[in-house]
Amino acid sequence: MPHIQELIYELEVGRGPRIVRALATVLAVLALAWWYDTREFKNFYAPEAMEAAQLARNIVAGRGYTTEVIRPLSIHLVVQKQGLEADIGSAPHPDLINPPVYPLFLAGLMKALPFKYQIEGPFLRYQPEVIIAVANQVLFLIVIGLMASLASRLFSIEVGVLTLAFLLLSDTLWRFSTSGLSTMMVMLWLALWVRALLRLDTAFFEGGREKRGLYRWAAVCGLLIGLAGLTRYSMLGLLVPTVAYVLIFFNQRRFKVNLVVVLVAAAVVAPWLVRNYQLCGHPFGLAGFAIDQGSIAYPHDTLERTLEPEMQLVGLNDYGRKLVLNLYDILTHELPRLGGNWLGGFFLAGLLLRFRSGMLSRLRYVLLLTLVTLAVFQALGRTHLSERIPDIHSENLLILLAPPFFIYGAAFFSTLLDQMRLPIIELRHFITTVFLGVSALPIILTFLPPPNVPINYPPYYPVWIQTNARLLRQDELMMSDMPWAVAWYGDRQCVWIPRNPREAFFEIHDRHKRVSALYLTQLTTDVKFLSQMIQGRDYDWARFAAQLLLRQELPDGFPLKDVWSYYLPDQLFLADRPRWRALGSREPGRPETQPTGPATTAPAAPQPTLPEPIQPLR
């Protein structure tokens, strides 16, 4: 009988209510994730996501850390360093732009779970991308748990709950979680780094004369910085606020602590940097050229598409110009919307509060210095990837600070409520609910009809891409304006269209490896007529496509003379012979471009007609 009474007591007063609340929270989070994925999931659009995924598949297939996305600049660097025996026609091409941790994480998923790369039947969602998105959402939920528990420990349970709600209701963070990018993993490393830094702070200021655990937590900070740097190179910038924090606030052992941090971080990243140097002569590979992109000599994506670059054309003036222009854009557009809406400014204001706790004040300074450091890295490292997709790209570094900033924003809001001296607690709950509702407006509007179509067309229609790629053998080479998509969906080696098609195409075709097919999409064909196609100096491929479509002409000596008219005029597929005849009547179908209900099918996209069909050109 006493046991029954104790059980009833636990259920009604003791741990029972806490368990019920925890289960209700977990179910609500899972329901939100399911609802978001059901209505808002879209197939990959970011080139970095597709590139990391195809790298992971190559690792699982036993091909090593090699890529099927071939950049002309990468060809130049590898051949220059290792000679023609390392050329794409002689050996698998090493990846020189992606750090290894995230692709290795994806490779583990592919090894453990049933990935289905072959597209069969009606297509809407690509199954491997759904699995990758769910895995990233698990990382996202871990970050939320870490930040909510940290907020509860540093401030109060109310601040922890607010932090949890702010993060869960951020539409921008959910979009990142389904993008296939490494952002959630980097965010996890940063969240762990913040917690390790607080442990380091406690070890120094509360560890007694022996400073128990000081060097251990310094090593953990260095380890996390190294792992973050091997997930995204720019995160090595976390060394700056870490070293500055120790130098400013530690009155003893500062140099030894910093030495431990730097040495451990260096030990983690050094083997990979040595590998890159041995392959191409640059420790950060092609990623180290990000600072040169966007210059006057190499605007947009032209540097990566240049077979023989002249780096002396880029100087300090270009770097200064790039820093100033991009910092202006970051300060006026991205910083006020940190976290996905205008409340980002509110969270920044939370960093200006004065705290009785020295730890909270010191952490605030570290976060502000981290913000400045990442803003500079983002400004200097901005490339064409930032132009393709606003906000949701791997070069958005400020979003990584959203979770710790939300903690201070929640604390700021809680402080404002305390100062209001509200007469009844229900009024406090009402104001909190209204504030959360306002901050959640973007995700609420996202859930309103109509639902998203998962297909990111134009230009990516996985069925077309996979069909075109499978027309080639595994050892043949395609050229395209979206090699990342050909490599991911088609599992074929694909070189990015070079900047100068008149010379570089034949240089690749004749000297490096024979090009068996050319695939041009709306990334090339759908450009501005006057300022780009007619007057632009870097739009030779657009003029090539227009000449083929309108005049049915190819440059003299161009080896790919057979044109598959199925994709015209949206996309162009040329080959060395009519390979598509092997398909017979099995055409790859058309993408669904309109929202569909559960029992309806989207109408096929209308097919424009040309005055006369394009025949194979001989």
What is the block-wise mean pLDDT of the chain (618 residues), using blocks of 10 residues?
61 67 84 89 95 98 96 95 87 95 98 95 92 97 96 93 93 95 98 97 81 90 98 97 96 92 98 97 96 93 94 93 95 82 70 81 93 96 89 93 92 87 86 90 86 89 96 96 98 96 91 96 90 85 91 90 91 95 77 51 38 43
Note the pLDDT of residue 86.
83
- The model scores a pTM over 0.85: yes
pLDDT score recorded for residue 5:
64
> What is the rounded CA–CA span in Å between residue 223 and residue 219?
6
Give the H/E segment covering residue 20. helix 15-40
Where exactly are the structural domains of the chain?
A: 2-40, 130-300+316-447, 462-583
- CB burial of 481-503 (b: ≥16 within 10 Å; e: otherwise) equals bbbbbbbbbbbbbbbbbbbbbee
3-state secondary structure 273-338: HHHHHHHHCCCCHHHHHHHHCCCCCCCCCCCCCCCCCCHHHCCHHHHHHHHHHHHHHHHHHHHHHC
Which residues sit opposite 562 in a β-bridge? 575
Query: What is the pLDDT at residue 326?
Result: 95
Sign of the dihedral through C-alpha 4, 8, 13, 14: positive
pLDDT for position 599: 34
Q: Which residues contact 212 (CB under 8 A, 6 or more apart)?
A: 203
Of 42, 60, 50, which is closest to residue 97 (Cα–Cα)? 50
Q: Is residue 563 within a helix (H) or strand (E), and if so which, with residue range?
A: strand 562-563
Return d(Cα 597, Cα 183) in angstroms, integer.
31
3-class DSSP assignment, residue 93: strand
Q: What is the pLDDT of residue 342?
A: 64
Alpha-carbon separation of residue 204 from 142, 218, 251, 362 (angstroms)? 28, 11, 10, 13
